[in-house]
């Protein structure tokens, strides 16, 4: 099943692995393929806005491109909308103090904030406002609390409207044909080990299944085995190279050495990842970009790389 044929895609990963770029790239690919797509950022850091070189996003989605809308999640607005749509509150305009108080309860009470936020995303899916909702979600350490919220609420809250609503939210989240989770990692020790841990925790604490891993910033294998041996040995011919090309070649060799060493270490981490995860779970590779660019250019480069990979999924 094509990743983008789902209706809700959470994109998570350890901090610093390029989660936002991948979420933005997936949203862009979906939009380009003709799907009406909403990209939602979950924290208030403005990373999605930065990825598209645009001003800060708001709760109300804003169109960024053909078929592409983006919003920033915000608990107060989500509560306001929830009260308007479901509780049919008469004083919608004046919920400010109530929302702040509620926000405080939600901060302390387990799962309340998460269910509100996840409920909003599931609502967009249920109402089919978009073909696909892509979420630049919480990092690996927090994602389970978010997508597992319907279960937590179901356990803790015995009556009330929220309890009733956890059912349809769970139905959407736990249907792998509708909801997907993409875990972004880099070929490094901690991101890979958090990815493996997360897959185990998802199974134990939520009904959401991972749909794909994105291995980001993978250094390309430049050399076959024989060439690789020669790269390692070149140090011994340094003086020959200095003689032929100047002293600066020492730095050229150092750069090759560092890159090659990191590529090998990274390759081992990726092999370990492949061995530790279910064989059916696809791993999509995005190469290290070596670009000076930021913002839209990066999104577009990552999207191009992912497009090639998605054809194989």
Partner 1 sequence: MARSAKLGLDALLASKEMVLVTGSGGVGKTTVAAALGLAAAVHQGGKVLVLTVDPAKRLADALGVGALGNTASRVPDEAFAAAGVEPRGELWAAMLDTKAGWDELIRRHAPDAKVRDSVLNNPLYQNITSRFVHSHDYLAMEQLHELHATGDYDLVVVDTPPSRNALDILDAPSRMVDFFGSRLLKWLTVPYRSRLFTAASKPFYQVADRVLGAGFLRDIADFFVLFQAMERGFVGRAREVEGLLGDPRTTFVVVTTLETAPAHEAEYLVRELVRRHHHLGAIIANRVLPAGITRRGASASAKRLAEAAGEADLRDRIVTRLDLDPDDGEVVGEVLSEIATRFHDVALVATREAERRAELSVLAPEVLDAPILDSDVHDLRGLLELVGHLRT
Of 24-32, 128-136, 230-238, 277-285, the window that binds partner 1 (rule: CB under 8 A) is 230-238
Footprint of partner 1 on residues 26-65 (CB under 8 A)?
A: 43, 45
Residues 6+ apart with CB under 8 A from 208: 10, 147, 148, 173, 174, 179, 181, 202
Q: How many residues bind partner 1 (CB under 8 A)?
A: 75
- In terms of CB distance, is 1 or 87 closer to partner 1? 87
Of 3-11, 31-39, 128-136, 237-245, the window that binds partner 1 (rule: CB under 8 A) is 237-245
- In terms of CB distance, is 1 or 255 closer to partner 1? 255
**142 belongs to the binding site for partner 1 (CB under 8 A):** yes
Strands 68-72 and 62-65: antiparallel
For residue 135, give the 3-state DSSP assignment.
strand
**221 belongs to the binding site for partner 1 (CB under 8 A):** no
C-alpha–C-alpha distance, residues 148 and 167, integer Å = 12
- In terms of CB distance, is 97 or 278 closer to partner 1? 97
Footprint of partner 1 on residues 160-189 (CB under 8 A)?
A: 160-163, 188-189
Residues 6+ apart with CB under 8 A from 124: 38, 130, 133
Closest distance to partner 1 from the beta carbon of 311 (Å): 26
Closest distance to partner 1 from the beta carbon of 160 (Å): 3
Footprint of partner 1 on residues 72-101 (CB under 8 A)?
A: 82-83, 87, 89, 98, 101
- In terms of CB distance, is 60 or 227 closer to partner 1? 227
Footprint of partner 1 on residues 188-207 (CB under 8 A)?
A: 188-191, 193
Measure the N-to-C terminal CA separation of the chain; round to a whole number of Å. 7
Closest distance to partner 1 from the beta carbon of 21 (Å): 10
**234 belongs to the binding site for partner 1 (CB under 8 A):** yes
**293 belongs to the binding site for partner 1 (CB under 8 A):** no
Closest distance to partner 1 from the beta carbon of 176 (Å): 27
C-alpha–C-alpha distance, residues 133 and 70, integer Å = 9
Closest distance to partner 1 from the beta carbon of 246 (Å): 4
Task: Give which of 262, 259, 311, 250 is closest to 285, Cα–Cα.
Answer: 311
Q: How far is the CA of 26 from the CAs of 38, 86, 209, in angstroms? A: 11, 31, 18
Closest distance to partner 1 from the beta carbon of 56 (Å): 16
Pair of tokens at residue 123? 């609502």
Residue with token string 């509150």: 89
Q: How far is the CA of 64 from the CAs of 119, 207, 288, in angstroms? A: 24, 32, 26
Q: Does an H or E element contain 272, and which?
A: helix 249-276
């Amino acid at each position: 099943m094509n990743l983008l044929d789902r209706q809700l895609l959470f994109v998570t990963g350890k901090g610093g692995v390029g989660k936002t770029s991948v979420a933005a790239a997936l949203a862009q690919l979906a939009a380009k393929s003709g799907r009406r797509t909403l990209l939602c950022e979950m924290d208030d850091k403005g990373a999605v806005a930065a990825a598209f070189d645009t001003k800060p996003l708001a709760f109300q989605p804003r169109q960024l491109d053909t078929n592409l809308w983006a919003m920033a999640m915000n608990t107060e607005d989500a509560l306001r909308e929830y009260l308007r749509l479901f509780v049919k509150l008469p004083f919608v305009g004046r919920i400010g103090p109530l929302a702040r108080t509620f926000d405080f309860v939600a901060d302390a009470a387990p799962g309340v904030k998460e269910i509100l936020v996840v409920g909003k995303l599931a609502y967009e899916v249920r109402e089919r406002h978009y073909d696909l909702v892509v979420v630049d979600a919480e990092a690996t350490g927090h994602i389970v609390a978010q997508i597992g919220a319907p279960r937590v609420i179901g356990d803790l809250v015995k009556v009330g409207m929220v309890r009733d609503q956890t059912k349809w939210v769970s139905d959407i989240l736990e249907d792998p044909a509708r909801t997907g989770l993409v875990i972004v990692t880099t070929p490094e020790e901690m991101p890979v080990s958090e990815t493996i841990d997360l897959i185990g925790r998802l199974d134990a604490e939520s009904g959401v299944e991972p749909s794909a891993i994105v291995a980001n910033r993978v250094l390309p294998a430049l050399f076959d085995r024989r060439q690789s041996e020669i790269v390692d040995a070149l140090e011994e011919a340094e003086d020959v190279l200095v003689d032929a090309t100047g002293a600066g070649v020492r730095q050229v060799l150092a750069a090759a050495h560092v890159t090659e060493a990191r590529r090998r270490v990274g390759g081992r981490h990726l092999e370990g990842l492949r061995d530790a995860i279910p064989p059916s779970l696809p791993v999509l590779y995005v190469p290290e970009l070596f670009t000076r660019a930021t913002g839209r250019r990066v999104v577009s480069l990552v999207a191009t790389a992912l497009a090639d990979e998605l054809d194989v999924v």
